[in-house]
Amino acid sequence: MAVRETTGRVTRRRARTRANLLDAAFEVFAAKGFGRVSIEEVCEAAGYSRGAFYSNFDTLDELFFALYGQRADLIAEQVSAALASDGPGLDVPDAVERVTEVLLLDRDWLLVKTDFLVHAARDPEVARTLLEHRARLRRSIADRLARARGHTALPAVLGDTEGAAHAVVAAYDGVTTQLLLDRDVAHARVWLGRLLTALLTDGSARQ
């Protein structure tokens, strides 16, 4: 029993160390950009030694993947939760309002995400990871739209629910790119809501 308790404490401590390293790395990557950050800088920001780093990650790339995955999964969960409230039908303006209220629109995250996108554009292996995350987000949106088919009509120009999901993600990408430049989160939420409502309806729905 004592061995199990000790192991449990070690496991919890390691999980806490990993979480602290990810939090510190997020701040450092956002401030300096991936490719300009060393393992030592992440360790210093987190208050750990290199040994603590290597007990959780083999490379800085691996940490970067873990950080991206953590935030990308959070966004997918936010979207899924916000779209889960309706019954068979889908009140598009209400659903869009819920999504835009909770969706992560954080400039530091967008800086890190953009770094990851540029990194992926130059490395096919990284690109596969990024594409998997984006596909998961689109699936969560497409699945919800598919459940509403027959109750809520989508504009014909979008084609099927997969096409609509692609359009939603593209709108998010466009608005967040603008946010990197103008730094106006409140305006970004309003604009994203209007854009998604127009995309998923005939454009005349309540806003």
> Rounded to whole angstroms, how far apart are CA atoms 162 and 176?
21
Most distant pair of Cα atoms in the chain: their distance: 66
Alpha helices for 33-160 (secondary structure H):
39-46, 50-54, 60-83, 92-102, 107-122, 124-148
Q: Residue 125: CB partners within 8 Å, gap ≥ 6?
A: none
pTM of the model: 0.72
pLDDT in tens, the chain (207 residues): 444 444 455 588 889 999 999 999 999 999 999 888 999 999 999 999 999 999 999 998 889 888 888 887 887 777 777 777 666 667 778 888 888 887 778 888 889 888 888 888 998 988 888 888 888 888 888 887 887 665 567 777 788 888 888 888 888 889 988 888 898 988 998 999 998 888 888 654 444
- Residue 68: CB atoms within 10 A of its CB come to 25
The pLDDT tens digits for 33-67 are: 988 899 999 999 999 999 999 999 999 888 988 88
The pLDDT tens digits for 111-131 are: 988 888 888 899 898 888 888
